[in-house]
């Protein structure tokens, strides 16, 4: 039903085209005359939900054409993650992607780890730890690697299969270095979250750049945390230097900065989500909440662990942080996390399509675009 | 309530006037007849304005000198224009880009499929409603007070001097609540009367009942009527308007741009008697677009049917409503309510008259008819390949031209030839001063912006003195 609604709206938009300059969705739409399932799924993931086209639209409700592209795209976009998810049995997880589930997962895992340690070495749980290897008395490093590496690899596999299905549904298209680089730049800057230059229109028709700022904090905060973990792994295996690390190491600097981003960003995004104009909100208003909460907990638990690692709370805090990390890995393929992957794939397809249509090396189309009369 | 400047209307002209007056130091109140969601009159449906400029600027692809603009205007109006005001409009159109940009409007290159306008017309990023939102934001930041759902129902004008207006605003029980708003100057920027079918019927006869109104239903000409009753001089003919042929299934009001059909040059157009009535291939569609409204209005039942075949289907912009489709012409005729035999005969006659040649829809090609009346001068190819498609055409009225006469200061001229000291007009309500007939893409917005600015500036100056 959401596919039909997007196709209906795109037929109106394609006859209008006033929003052409706002983002990638409309130029992509103009390359099509009909909107099959794969096309609308692709377009919905190209939409960054900036809201500008709703406020700019002469056909927005209460007009009888009832054009509300951001909402139609959001509704469909949330469907697509489930449509292409692997394994198929996990598709229903998207519908029940609530905060409560995620939180219970965190607590369950934390309790499990704490319980595990309590049984094997109760003293380790309440020992403070700043000396090298203190963390691994709570949980041996190899066990950490097996559990978390396993969860991570499964998540990667699952997402890779899903996004491949999504890619193929919109028609065969090669992945080129040029489109990859273009998509990386567009995604890195959130180029299409700015309503064509004015800004994102979230709570009303007054544009601002707050969502972009909060998203950047979240995304780059996440990347810093990832960099922190990666450097930590290098320290561990290459330098044979065991965690915890002093504050001046890249592991800590990346981790603390990233943690701050992962706290500030998701809080900002939650506020923006709450303030969002009601008519722009997707049907499933809870969608994405779990993801934001997990990111926030990821940052928060990491920061708290760093701050209190010298106290007897270290063991429990570590268990909690590991619980969050584990919950994050496990829910990655079945929650809002995949939006980044699908969006990136859509941006890559868009870059390739536009290069093919307007690029320098490619000869111009045989016939110029049909003329649109003067108005 | 008292303001320095009261402005009736909520579109481009009203906003340009409000911003100019507020920047001139005046306290400004806008009364917009529509609710907020429908604010802005026909500006909501626009996308560009035609601006003279001496050099391209990266978005406008080349120079468009005032002289060339004037030639274009003279060609479409056939000289039915006030040359002094026309020259003023085109000259001052040079300032409009900077004015709008200063006040928050963003521009973009011409839209896909409108390359022919890339040099002459400045396109608003996100279209007219986006432009309007930017102007409202600026006006509000300047302290302009805006009332929605607020229609002017009475004017107090003494010897051409504006004193106050009665404005209905909100409800008092079951009856509308009336406010008397005093102001030291008044700007009439409330649009034409195209949404007033009764008024159109006075000018066009019963044919007007079949017209579709492409824009806002709020342009009912109420303010124009009040001004006429107060002894203001009018200009322009009541049956002159921007009229195009639109999809017959469009809503009665507010269908806007998407109801446009671009397939006319690729087929034949039949009237209710299944007969052709005009050269469909006279010129490129953008150049003939604005005459087909009147052509269809002159046909029985004010209806036309474009018939095309499979080979033309992908040559024009996608349409919002799907066409009627059939595998035979007879079946198609039945579906659209035409006499199958007559339609077959008309198409056969047309097909037989087509001279074979190289078809090219990007140039005036050699495909034309011979010995056919009316002829089809270009892009004439036999309609022979099923499936066949039919689109229904109706006259679509964009806006009316008859309005109040103004001078260079946008001051309203009274019937006795005197000029009102504090009564101004801008936009559609005075467009007839410049557009006596015909239409030039984007000039409606130009007139609105130029005269809106003049009216606002002069009103503020009047208030200061």
**Per-residue model confidence as pLDDT tens digits over A92-116:** 777 766 666 677 677 777 777 777 6
Q: Centre a 10 Å sphere on the Cβ of residue B408 and count the other Cβ atoms it contains.
A: 14
Give bridge partners of residue A320 from the DSSP assignment: none
- The band of A316, judged by pLDDT with boundaries at 50, 70 and 90, is confident
pLDDT tens by residue, A191-214: 999 999 889 999 999 999 999 999
pLDDT category, A4, cuts 50, 70, 90?
A: very high
Residue B112 has pLDDT above 70, yes or no: yes
Name the band, by pLDDT with cuts 50, 70 and 90, for residue B275: very high
Parallel/antiparallel/unpaired status of strands B175-188 and B2-8:
parallel
Question: What is the reported pLDDT for A129?
Answer: 61
> CA angle, corner B145, sides to B139 and B148, nearest 5?
100
Average pLDDT over chain A reads 87
Peptide bond just before B387 cis, omega within 30 deg: yes
Residue-level pLDDT at A374: 45
Give contacts of B106 with chain A, Cβ < 8 Å. Answer: 196-198
**What pLDDT score was predicted for residue A132?**
66
Domains of chain B, CATH where assigned: 2-238+401-463 (3.50.50.60), 243-396 (3.90.700.10)
The CB density around residue B98, as the number of other CB atoms within 10 Å, is: 9
Q: What are phi and psi of B3, to 5 degrees?
A: -130, 165
Beta strands B107-108 and B145-147 are unpaired
pLDDT at B199: 97
pLDDT (0 to 100) of residue A130: 63
Distance CA B21, CA B41 (A): 20
For residue B398, give the 3-state DSSP assignment: strand
For residue B207, pLDDT over 80 is answered with yes
pLDDT beyond 50 at A147 = yes
Q: Answer with the residue of higher pLDDT: B362 or B413.
A: B413
pLDDT band at A24 (very low <50, low <70, confident <90, very high): very high
Mean of pLDDT values over B166-182: 89
Q: What was the pLDDT predicted at A361?
A: 42
- Crossing angle of helices B443-464 and B12-23, rounded to 10°: 30
Between the two ends of chain B, the Cα-to-Cα distance in Å is: 21
pLDDT band at A128 (very low <50, low <70, confident <90, very high): low
At A243 the pLDDT is: 76
Segment B318-361, tens digit of pLDDT = 888 999 999 999 999 999 999 999 999 999 999 999 999 999 99
Q: How far apart are CA B237 and CA B258, in angstroms?
A: 28
Indicate which of A10, A18, A200, A369 best probes the interface with B, i.e. most B CBs within 10 Å of its own CB.
Answer: A18
Whole-angstrom distance, CA of residue A166 vs CA of residue A72: 18
What is the reported pLDDT for B111?
Answer: 83
| Per-residue model confidence (pLDDT) at position B397 | 96
Higher confidence at residue A282 or residue B227? B227
Cα distance between residue B296 and residue A189, in whole Å: 51
The CA-atom distances, in angstroms, between B260 and each of A288, A375, B124, B219 are: 40, 10, 19, 21
Least confident of A61-70, A116-125, B435-444: A116-125
Contact B441 A375 (CB under 8 A): yes
A340 CB-side CA count, 13 A: 18
Rounded percentage of chain A residues whose pLDDT exceeds 90: 59
CA distance to partner chain B, nearest, from residue A356 (Å): 16
Cβ of A11 within 8 Å of Cβ of B284? The answer is no
What is the mean pLDDT of the segment spanning B370-376? Answer: 96
Q: What percent of chain B has pLDDT over 90?
A: 91
Residue A372: which pLDDT band, with cuts at 50, 70 and 90? very low
Residue B404's pLDDT is: 98
Give A359's pLDDT tier (boundaries 50, 70, 90): confident
pLDDT in the model for residue A206: 93
- With CB atoms and an 8 Å threshold, state whether A196 touches B108: yes
By three-state DSSP, how is residue B344 classified? helix
Q: What is the pLDDT of residue A324?
A: 87
Model pTM score: 0.92
Backbone angles phi, psi at B182, to 5 degrees: -90, 145
Strands B234-235 and B48-50: unpaired
Query: Does A367 have pLDDT greater than 50?
Result: no
Residues B305-319: pLDDT tens digits?
999 999 999 888 888
pLDDT at A299 over 50: yes
Q: What is the pLDDT of residue B447?
A: 98
**Any idea which of A359-363, B6-10, B75-79, B452-456 has the lowest mean pLDDT?**
A359-363
Q: Rounded to 5 degrees, what angle do the CA atoms A112, A113, A116 make?
A: 85
Helices (H), B53-102: 66-77, 83-92, 96-102
Partners of A58 on chain B (C-beta within 8 Å) are 44-45, 127-129, 254, 256-257
Q: Which residue of B has its CA nearest to A53?
A: B126
C-alpha angle B237-B239-B244 in degrees, rounded to nearest 5: 125
pLDDT above 70 for B59? yes
CA angle, A309 as apex, A304 and A311 as ends, to 5°? 110
Give yes or no for A156 touching B (CB within 8 A). no
A30 interface with B at CB cutoff 8 Å: yes
SS3 B356: coil
pLDDT tier for residue A373 given thresholds of 50, 70 and 90: very low
Q: Does B47 lie at the interface with A, CB-CB under 8 angstroms?
A: yes
- B437: tokens are 């007939």
């Amino acid at each position: 039903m959401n596919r039909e609604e997007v196709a209906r709206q795109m037929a109106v938009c394609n006859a209008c085209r006033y929003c052409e300059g706002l983002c990638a969705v409309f130029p992509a739409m103009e390359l099509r005359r009909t909107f099959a399932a794969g096309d609308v799924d692709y377009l919905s993931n190209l939409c960054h939900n900036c809201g500008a086209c709703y406020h700019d639209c002469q056909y927005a409700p209460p007009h009888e054409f009832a054009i509300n592209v951001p909402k139609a795209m959001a509704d469909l976009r949330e469907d697509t993650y489930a449509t292409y998810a692997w394994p198929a049995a996990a598709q229903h997880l998207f519908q029940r992607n609530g905060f409560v589930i995620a939180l219970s997962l965190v607590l369950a895992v934390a309790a499990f780890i704490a319980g595990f340690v309590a049984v094997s070495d109760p003293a380790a749980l309440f020992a403070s730890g700043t000396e090298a290897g203190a963390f691994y008395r709570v949980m041996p490093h190899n066990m950490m690697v097996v559990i978390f590496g396993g969860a991570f690899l499964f998540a990667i596999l699952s997402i890779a299969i899903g996004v491949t299905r999504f890619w193929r549904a919109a028609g065969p298209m090669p992945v080129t270095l040029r489109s990859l680089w273009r998509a990386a730049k567009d995604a890195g800057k959130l180029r299409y979250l700015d309503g064509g230059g004015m800004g994102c229109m979230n709570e009303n028709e007054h544009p601002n750049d707050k969502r972009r700022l909060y998203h950047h904090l979240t995304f780059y905060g996440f990347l810093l945390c990832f960099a922190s973990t990666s450097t930590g792994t290098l320290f561990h295996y290459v330098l044979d230097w065991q965690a915890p690390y002093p504050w001046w190491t890249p592991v800590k600097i990346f981790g603390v900065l990233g943690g701050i981003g992962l706290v500030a960003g998701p809080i900002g995004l939650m506020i923006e989500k709450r303030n969002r104009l009601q008519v722009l909100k997707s049907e499933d208003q809870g969608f994405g909440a779990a993801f934001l909460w997990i990111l926030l907990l990821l940052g928060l638990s990491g920061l708290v662990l760093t701050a209190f690692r010298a106290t007897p709370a270290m063991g429990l805090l570590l268990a909690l942080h590991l619980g969050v990390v584990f919950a994050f890995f496990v829910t990655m393929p079945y929650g809002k996390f995949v939006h980044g992957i699908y969006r990136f794939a859509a941006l890559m397809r868009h870059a390739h399509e536009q290069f093919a249509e307007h690029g320098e090396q490619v000869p111009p189309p045989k016939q110029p675009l049909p003329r649109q009369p003067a108005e | 309530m008292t303001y320095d400047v009261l402005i009736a209307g909520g579109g481009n002209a009203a906003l340009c006037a409000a911003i100019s007056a507020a920047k001139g130091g005046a306290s400004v109140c806008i009364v917009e007849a529509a609710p907020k969601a429908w604010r802005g009159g026909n500006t909501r449906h626009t996308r560009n304005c035609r601006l003279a400029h001496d050099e391209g600027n990266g978005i406008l692809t080349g120079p468009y000198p005032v002289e060339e603009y004037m030639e274009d205007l003279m060609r479409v109006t056939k000289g039915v224009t006030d040359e002094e005001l026309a020259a003023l409009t085109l000259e001052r159109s040079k300032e409009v880009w900077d004015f709008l940009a200063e006040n928050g409007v963003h521009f973009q290159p011409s839209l896909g499929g409108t390359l022919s306008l890339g040099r002459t017309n400045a396109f608003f990023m996100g279209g007219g409603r986006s432009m309007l939102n930017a102007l409202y934001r600026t006006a509000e930041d300047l302290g302009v007070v805006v009332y929605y759902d607020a229609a002017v129902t009475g004017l107090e004008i003494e010897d051409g001097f504006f004193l106050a207006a009665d404005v209905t605003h909100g409800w008092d029980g079951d009856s509308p609540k009336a406010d008397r708003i005093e102001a030291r100057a008044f700007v009439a920027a409330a649009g034409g009367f195209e949404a007033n079918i009764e008024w159109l019927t006075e000018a066009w006869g019963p044919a007007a009942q079949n017209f579709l109104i492409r824009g806002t239903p709020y342009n009912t000409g109420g303010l124009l009527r009040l001004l006429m009753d107060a002894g203001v001089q009018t200009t322009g003919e009541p049956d002159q308007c921007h009229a195009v042929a639109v999809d017959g299934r469009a809503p009665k009001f507010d269908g806007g741009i998407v109801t446009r059909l671009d397939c006319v040059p690729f087929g034949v157009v039949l009237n209710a008697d299944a007969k052709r009535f005009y050269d469909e291939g006279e010129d490129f569609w953008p150049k003939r677009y604005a005459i087909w409204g009147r052509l269809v209005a002159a046909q029985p039942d004010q209806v036309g049917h474009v018939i095309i075949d499979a080979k033309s289907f992908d040559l024009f912009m996608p349409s919002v409503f799907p066409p009627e489709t059939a595998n035979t012409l007879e079946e198609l005729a039945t579906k659209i309510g035409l006499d199958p035999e007559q339609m077959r005969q008309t198409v056969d006659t047309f097909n037989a008259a087509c001279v074979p040649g190289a078809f090219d829809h990007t140039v005036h090609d050699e495909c034309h008819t011979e010995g056919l009346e009316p002829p089809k001068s270009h892009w004439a190819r036999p309609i022979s390949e099923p499936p066949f498609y039919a689109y229904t055409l109706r006259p679509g009225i964009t806006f009316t031209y008859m309005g109040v006469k103004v001078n260079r200061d946008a001051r309203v001229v009274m019937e006795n030839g005197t000029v009102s000291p504090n009564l101004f007009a801008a936009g559609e309500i005075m467009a007839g001063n410049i557009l006596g007939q015909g239409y030039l893409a984007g000039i409606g917005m130009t007139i609105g912006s130029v005269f809106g600015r003049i009216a606002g500036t002069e009103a503020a100056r009047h208030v200061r003195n």
